[in-house]
Structure 1
C-alpha cells in the first residue's frame, strides 16, 4: 500500500496500515485523521486570499483502520473570516469533529518569529530502532529526526519529521497537510511516562498558525506535563525550515495500561 488513505469518492476513504496508531493495531493515529480533515476542508468553499489559521479537533472515540467518511460544511462565511466544520464518521457514527478558521490574507508588518531550533539532521540508527518507527504503521510511515531529547527516554524533545508516503493515493501532500499529519505527534515524542505502563491519549488537538507552513519538513519542539489527577497537557511549537509557524496543544487522558494498575500502585 502506497498511501495512508485510498479514495472511494464522495468523501469516503479506506484507511491503510500507514494510519495505524500505537495504542491498538486496529485504531488510527490522530495524525493521519487530522491530515485527512485538512484535505477535505481545503475542498470546502475555497476562496482565494483566505488561509487556514486555526484548527480545533475533538476526538469522541477511537477511529478504526477501516472505511471512513468525512463531511464538511460552512459554519460562517464572511468577507474577512470564514469558519468551517468537519466530521469524520465510521459505520455511520461520528468519531471526530473539527472546526477550522480561515482569515483573509493581507500585508501586515511582521514582528519576527523564532528561527528553527536546528537544521534537519541526518537519519540516525537510534531513531529507526525506537518504538516510534518500529511498532505501528504511522510510526513506520514517518521519517523522524531528533535534534534534542531521545525517542527511547521520557522528557521534552525537538524533532523534525516528514511523511514518507502520500496522505491520499494519487495526490501530492500540501505543506499544511504535512503539518497536520505530524502535529499530533507532540505527546508521543515528548512522552513523560513509561509507554509500556501508561496510556497518555489525547482527546483533542488544537493548531494555531500565524503563517502558512512551507516544504515537506516540520519540526516539533514539544513538552508534556502530567497532572496529579489523570490529565496531562502537551505544548508544541511548530516550525518549518524558515522558522516558527505556530503552536499546537493536546489535552491528555492519562491512566495505567490495563493490567498495570497493581504495578503502578506499588
Structure 2
C-alpha cells in the first residue's frame, strides 16, 4: 500500500514497466532510457492485469505502451522509450564518485499514516549528510524485477523526501517520469530531491537519481496537494 488510498504508485508503475521491459527485451528494442507513468485512479489490492502494445518500432528509437487494469478499469498507463546503444568515442566517460551508502546507518522504519503495511516496509533507508536519501530493497516489487522497474519504487518517494512540514496537506503525485543514462550499480538507489508547493494546490517534485558511483538519471512528478479536514 501507499500512504493514501490504493497501492503505492511505485509498485503499480513497477509492475507495468516490468512487463514492458520484458517485452522490449523479447523484441530486441535496446536500452529502456525513459518512462512516463500516469496514475489515473487508485489501484486496489488484488488481481491486476497489464496490457502492452508497440507504439513505435524504429531502428534506433522504439516505444512500448501499456496499462494496468484493476476490476475492469484502467488505473494507470505508461510508455517506455527504448534506444539502441551506439559507441561514440569522442565522449569522455563521466568520472566515478565514491558515495558509499552502505557505510551509513539504517534509519528507523517509517510507519504508514493508515497504520497498516505499506511500500516503505520493503526498504532499508539511509540519509547522507549532503541530503541524499538512499533506498535498498528488502523485498522486490515482483520476482526477478527488471532494472528500470526496480528504480520506480524509490523514485516515487521523491516529492515526499523533500516534503515541507505541513502535516495537514496530503501530497499524492499524479504521474511519474524518469530518464536514465544507465542502470544503477549496487543495491542502493539514492535521490537528491527538490520540491515546490504552490498556493494553487499544484506541487512539483524532482530529483537526481544516484548510485554509489554518482548520478545516473532524473525523476519528476506533478503533485495534487489536498488539505485534510
TM-score surpassing 0.5? yes
Which residue of 2 is the match for residue 206 of structure 1? Answer: 177
Which residue of 2 is the match for residue 5 of structure 1? Answer: none
Q: Residues 117, 60 of structure 1: CA spacing in aligned structure 2 closer, same or farther, 3 A cutoff?
A: farther
Q: CA deviation at 1:89?
A: 0.8
Per-residue deviation, residues 216-248 of structure 1 (Å, max 9, x unmatched): 211111011101210010111001122211100
- Tell me which of 128, 131, 147 is aligned to 1:147: 128
Query: Are the aligned partners of 1:50 and 1:102 in contact in 2 as well (CA < 8 Å)?
Result: yes
Which residue of 1 is the match for residue 12 of structure 2? Answer: 33
Compare relative contact order (CA 8 Å, sep 6+) and give the higher one, 1 or 2: 2
For the pair 1:158 / 2:142, whether they are aligned, the reply is: no
Q: Residues 99, 23 of structure 1: CA spacing in aligned structure 2 closer, same or farther, 3 A cutoff?
A: same
Provide the C-alpha distance between the structure 2 equivalents of 1:159 and 1:116, rounded to a whole number of angstroms.
16
- 3-state SS of paired residue (2:7): coil
For the pair 1:42 / 2:16, whether they are aligned, the reply is: no
For the pair 1:215 / 2:186, whether they are aligned, the reply is: yes
For the pair 1:246 / 2:226, whether they are aligned, the reply is: no
Q: Residues 189, 224 of structure 1: CA spacing in aligned structure 2 closer, same or farther, 3 A cutoff?
A: same
Per-residue deviation, residues 32-80 of structure 1 (Å, max 9, x unmatched): 1121122100122424461001100011111112221110110001111
Per-residue deviation, residues 155-209 of structure 1 (Å, max 9, x unmatched): xx421102111222xx333432321221111012111243x41111101110011
Q: Residues 199, 116 of structure 1: CA spacing in aligned structure 2 closer, same or farther, 3 A cutoff?
A: farther
For the pair 1:184 / 2:156, whether they are aligned, the reply is: yes
Trace 1:84-233 onto structure 2 (pairs within 5 A): 84-108=64-88, 109-110=90-91, 113=94, 118-120=99-101, 121-124=103-106, 127-131=107-111, 136-148=117-129, 157-168=131-142, 171-194=143-166, 196-233=167-204
Which residue of 2 is the match for residue 154 of structure 1? Answer: none
Q: Residues 104, 253 of structure 1: CA spacing in aligned structure 2 closer, same or farther, 3 A cutoff?
A: same
Query: Are the aligned partners of 2:17 and 2:149 in contact in 1 as well (CA < 8 Å)?
Result: yes
Query: Are the aligned partners of 1:237 and 1:247 in contact in 2 as well (CA < 8 Å)?
Result: yes
- 3-state SS of paired residue (2:128): strand
Task: Please tell me the root mean square deviation across aligned C-alpha atoms, in Å.
Answer: 2.3
Q: Which runs of 5+ in 2 are unaligned?
A: none
